[in-house]
Amino acid sequence: MWPWSTFFGPPVHPLPPPVAPQPATNHLYKFDPARQRWTQETSPDPDVSSINPNSPFSIISWNIDFSRPLPLARFGSALTLLQQLLSPHLVSLPPPPTILLLQEMHHTCFGPLLSNGFIREFYEITNIASPQSYSTVTLVPKSLAPLVSCVSRVAYMETQMSRDCVYVDLDLPAEGGQPFRRLRIANTHLESLRGFGDVARPKQLEAVYSLLTGVQIHGGLVAGDMNAITPEDATVPQSIGFTDSWLVGRAATEPPEGHTWGYQPPSRFPPGRLDKILTVGNIGCVDIQRIGLGAKVEGRDVWISDHYGLFGKVVLR
């Protein structure tokens, strides 16, 4: 997220010449206790008997705000909150496997992330460093990691902020003699600000849509900070072909209970539903709730993030 004071900037100007996206295909990183380091290795064959094909996992998407002071303290509190939500040691019933999609991950926060005992025990990670001062990172539960067939980070052709999208392919056991059902989970932070951003955001989302659809993709899901800061942004996902999961079963007037920005701290600019979970194909996301409401760094009057996160259950069709 960027300061709203800069949203109302210069007029829209033409996009620069496009640069072809370069997908980087690799594997997840997992912690090796014997060597005490994170390594990038191929996962073993999955135990498909442990996977519920009808409701395999949940997701959390959260922009944790790189730009405000105390990034390490804020991120530490964010990890504590996530552990309280997800740790089977802290809740009466074990939670479903939950994929974490984090945006605006400050480059200095990778150290605390990689040294966190909860993360080491329960998660594998798409990247163990940031390609720039801040970036996205996706964390996949170890129970789902053996299903991951591909991890890639694809840069947007139209961006002035080095924005990109991280994709994780999950090959779930299929029915009817088919070898698998491929789900593609995307984590993104669309272009910020007015002007160039107004032109770039729809094109970026179109690029995501093109990679979430196809004959091999059973269902695609993208979540993150969509920077929906204009009235036009509100309808872009549906016009491209996405289902906006929050609006399913709700009025399209975007009621305040869906807002994810504008309260931490209060702003002279109107709150908005900047963060979204979008789906296409035979996948949906239900029971979405917001997390991080009122959350502050322990012992300090400092918000963890200016954004609320989104926590939802993935369902297959």
pLDDT tens-digit series, residues 86-105: 988 777 777 789 999 999 99
Q: Is the pTM of this model over 0.75?
A: yes
Structural domains in the chain, sorted by start: 24-40+51-316 (3.60.10.10)
Each residue's pLDDT tens digit, 168-184: 999 998 777 777 899 99
Q: How far apart are CA 279 and CA 267, in angstroms?
A: 30
Which tokens hold the place of 51?
């996977």
pLDDT value of residue 22: 46
Runs of H (alpha helix) within 116-195: 117-122
Res 151: pLDDT: 96
Query: Shortest CA distance to 218 belongs to which of 313, 135, 292, 317?
Result: 317
- Interatomic CA distance for residues 284 and 279, integer angstroms: 6
The residue ranges of the chain whose pLDDT is under 50 are 1-22
The DSSP letter of residue 303 is: B
Q: Please calculate the CA angle 108-109-110 and round it to the nearest 5 degrees.
A: 95
pLDDT score, position 159? 92
